[in-house]
Structure 1
Amino acid sequence: MEADGREPERRSTLDPLLVQRLVPFFVSCALYFFLWVPSQEPSWTSALAKCLPIHFLALFVHSNAPSGTYGRFIWLGLLCSILGDIFVTWPDHFLVGMVASALAHLFYIKALGWLPTRQAFLKSVMVIFLLYFGPLQPHLPSQLSLPVVVYAAVLCLMLWRALVRGRSAALSGLFFSISHGLKAWTTFFWPLPASQMIIMFTYYTAQAVLALSAVERRAPQDD
């Protein structure tokens, strides 16, 4: 490993057999979109349908990720995401779900690491964060104003670290930002048509791409 904490430049390859092991994830996503999204009624059935794809991703990472901290923390983040998905199904437990989801992103940040810093990326993400959540802030309920800002700050850090790591992690961070940003906008300000479909599609994509980043095979870059 290099002195500044960065990994040597690597080229990623993905075993096609690993994609086949994601079939349960794809099937559970299909069940969610066809059976639950149209009704959006809170229930244990809908909560199960919502978190089942993430459950399969957690099993996928646990079974296929190489030993090491990256895969372990991605797995822990997926487990926390399951709890978040369950709790946010009911409006009365929205804050608990937000805490669980924030913890998931903290595990993702731990996996992604803090080096190199690439402060230019951080400044760009902070500008986007301020431009988006600044206008949204007045529309937040008083009891959720601070928690939402804290959660958005955690998401901002996750996007920064994902962009620095690059490759599939960066793509995951972008999809997470789209999903959670749209969720906040439609929940607290202006509901949009078919927003739930877009939110969950980008959310599942973000989680799946991050899970794949934990199991991808990496070969040293050729000279």
Structure 2
Amino acid sequence: MAKEIVLFVLYSVVHLFAIATITKQDALYLPSKIIPILILIVALFRYFPSLEKRGKLVAVGLVFSLFGDSFLALPKEGFFVFGLGSFLIAQLIYSYAFTLDSKVKPLLAIPFLLFGSSFFLVLVPKLGSLLIPVGVYISAICLMGWRAAARNSVSKPFYLGLFGALVFILSDSIIAYSMFLKPEMDRFTASMGIMITYYIAQVLIYSATKSEELDVQSVKNT
């Protein structure tokens, strides 16, 4: 297993432990949450000083994810919209990265459209002033899932990226469920579910990108 993946898993476990033992008000909460994503960002640029276009896009997406993590880790509720906006940008960037080698394939959009619209309709009565921001975000993450599924190359990076996108959708669905549909849900249970799926999603997208970058390097060196 690559060193950065070992570090990523280790620090992800540290944050899961933090969820169980401290609150957002604790000074250690924010660093423990963002370090795993920071490890992936640093690893991309360390391994590949000259990233291909998709690699650069994924790196920028990880940076905006880092911003989103930071906003959502702050104790004040008012930062939620900023976190949502940061992750919205990350999803659009990931969508573009997946689109670089994909065709339209409209039929593949149907399951994501059905899921996104159905979930949004269930959420609508609970959203209030967040109706539009949440609706836009659901559209973006379903777009990301569709573009990941529509890629031309059915290979290891394809499956890693697709599974990463699907798990990302699951993670954000848990956020919406626990925040709007089941606000009385135990904070520990919700946070653990959200962060475990979130970290899995990001490391899968990172691994897909790294695998593609290694393939490009291999071709260049032959």
What do the CA deviations read for 1:67-102 (whole angstroms, capped 9, x no partner)? 311110000000111110011123121101111111
Q: Which residue of 2 aligns with 1:173?
A: 165
Farther-moved stretch of structure 1 (206-215 vs 90-99): 90-99
Which of 184, 189, 213 does residue 181 from structure 2 map onto? 189
Matches of 1:153 and 1:37, distance apart in 2 = 32
Q: Which residue of 2 aligns with 1:106?
A: 92
- CA drift of 1:30 comes to 1.3
**Per residue, is there more helix in 1 or in 2?**
2
- CA drift of 1:44 comes to 4.0
- Give the secondary-structure state (helix, strand or coil) at the position aligned to 1:36: helix
- CA drift of 1:158 comes to 0.5
Number of residue equivalences: 202
**Residue 116 (structure 2) pairs with residue 129 (structure 1):** yes
What is the 5 A alignment of 1:3-18? 16=1
Matches of 2:39 and 2:32, distance apart in 1 = 12
- CA drift of 1:149 comes to 0.5
- CA drift of 1:64 comes to 2.3
- Give the secondary-structure state (helix, strand or coil) at the position aligned to 1:48: helix
Matches of 1:38 and 1:164, distance apart in 2 = 41
- CA drift of 1:35 comes to 2.1
Are residues 38 and 120 of structure 1, via their aligned partners in 2, closer, same or farther at CA, if it must alter by over 3 Å? farther
Which of 144, 151, 155 does residue 130 from structure 2 map onto? 144
- CA drift of 1:38 comes to 4.1
Are residues 42 and 104 of structure 1, via their aligned partners in 2, closer, same or farther at CA, if it must alter by over 3 Å? farther
For CA contacts below 8 A with separation 6 or more, give which structure has more relative contact order.
1
Farther-moved stretch of structure 1 (48-57 vs 114-123): 114-123
Matches of 1:38 and 1:183, distance apart in 2 = 20
Q: TM-score, normalised by structure 2?
A: 0.85
Matches of 2:25 and 2:160, distance apart in 1 = 32
Moved over 4 A (4+): none
Matches of 2:43 and 2:15, distance apart in 1 = 19
Please list every run of 5 or more consecutive structure 2 residues that lacks an aligned counterpart in the other structure: 152-157
Which of 47, 57, 70 does residue 86 from structure 1 map onto? 70
Matches of 1:47 and 1:21, distance apart in 2 = 20
Q: Which residue of 2 aligns with 1:41?
A: 24
Q: Are the aligned partners of 1:109 and 1:157 in contact in 2 as well (CA < 8 Å)?
A: yes
- Give the secondary-structure state (helix, strand or coil) at the position aligned to 1:21: helix
Q: TM-score, normalised by structure 1?
A: 0.84
Q: Which residue of 1 aligns with 2:155?
A: none
Letter in structure 1 aligned against 2:137: Y
Matches of 1:179 and 1:209, distance apart in 2 = 13
Q: Are the aligned partners of 1:36 and 1:49 in contact in 2 as well (CA < 8 Å)?
A: no
Which of 97, 112, 123 does residue 83 from structure 2 map onto? 97
Are residues 176 and 59 of structure 1, via their aligned partners in 2, closer, same or farther at CA, if it must alter by over 3 Å? same
Matches of 2:208 and 2:23, distance apart in 1 = 31
